Amino acid sequence: MRNVVIAGVGMTPFARRPGTGIRALANAASAEALKDAGVSADDVEIVYFGNAVAGTVTGQDMIRGQVAFRHSDLAGHPVINVENACASGSSAFHLAVHAVSGGQYDVALAVGAEQLTHADKTRPFRALRGSTDVFEIGEAGEDEDWTRSILMEFYAQEARAFLTRSDATVEDFARVAVKNRMHARLNPLAQFSAEQTIEEVLRSRMVVDPLTLPMCSPTTDGSAAVVVCSEQYARDRSIGSLLRVRGCELKGGKDTLPVTEATAAVYRSAGIGVDEADVIELHDAAAPAELIQYAEIGLCAEGEEAGLIRDGSTAIGGRIPVNTSGGLMSRGHALGATGIAQLAELAVQLRGRAGERQVENARVGLAVNTGGWMGGGYAVAVGTVLEALQ
């Protein structure tokens, strides 16, 4: 198997951008990634395109990547469309990495793009219902509440269970939201940058008890892209600022914890432990999700999660900064783009280009992206470890 690197990264601002469309978003991020790598569209041999909900939101049920790049220099390239709920982007990246590692291609482009904003505000929430087992929960009734994501009901259930089995409090959920907003205010691509206090988070509108609005990820539009190639190809082309993919593992959920399994697998393939990561991006679709994942990825023992947010361990300047981008709650959650947006943040950090939010001497980064909800847990989880090369 060959060494694989990320040679270029591109990302649009994450925001509510009605009318922009995944075509404009995907082309902007991809053009930036190609320019960053110093390669052209002609050098790309295949595109893996991650998108979750265009079928419901815009009616583009099929050939989403082909349509997105129809009028660009990538038109006519082979495209594999990838849908894996909120893990669509990281799943596209996973396919690109293994195709290049196995020698099938020298250069691949992994793209994630999502347009959630629509004049019909019910469409994104209708789409999110499809990230669960509809056969199990049943089709939506006439009185269905389309003002919020069904996933927040599941996260609220998780939050309530977590509160009973640990010493965590609702204030700790608010601390996660405040910490990630502090990071996001230093990220020019983040959706939300206004500072907030614990008291403001707790006083905000209740979405599903105990989750208030700032504890939940927003609907977001955006795209991110990475150029994936063999290390030998990059060296032959004198491409600089390379990030080696030490590991990328995808696991499915059934009666197990896919986050734990995916990270355990990527630690093995990367040959590291979690304590060797300098910066981490976690899937904080709701505030308790970040806390719960602290133990699932091995940062602490189960029951000790709240201590990490209380003592500042996971803030910039702490022992192991988590979600320096602002995370899904503040950077924004553009579903199909989220997994690659996490990698874009790691790239900025590992290249030393994060400005005021730079983690000192960051060399190794971990990203954990999850998708869907089935049987009381995530349907899929992807763990990735990147390392800056000299």
Active-site residue set? 86
The two tokens of residue 102 are 């196995």
Q: Which of 63, 113, 122, 112 is nearest to 90 (CA)?
A: 112
From the CA atom positions of the chain, what is the Rg in Å? 19
β-pair partners for 371: 380
Task: Note whether 74 and 26 are within 8 A (CB).
Answer: no
> Could you tell me if 338 and 289 are in contact, meaning their C-beta atoms sit under 8 angstroms apart?
no
In 3D space, the residue among 130, 86, 132 whose CA is nearest the CA of residue 342 turns out to be 86
Q: Write down the residue that tokens 């940062």 correspond to.
A: 299
User: How do 46-50 and 107-114 pair as beta strands?
Assistant: parallel
In the DSSP assignment, the letter for residue 283 is -
Q: At what angle do helices 170-184 and 287-296 cross, to 10 degrees?
A: 100
Q: 3-class DSSP state for residue 211?
A: strand
**Dihedral over Cα of 357, 250, 110, 268: its sign:** positive
Distance CA 319, CA 32 (A): 32
Amino acid at 376: G
Say which residues have a Cβ less than 8 Å from residue 31's Cβ, sequence separation at least 6: 10, 72
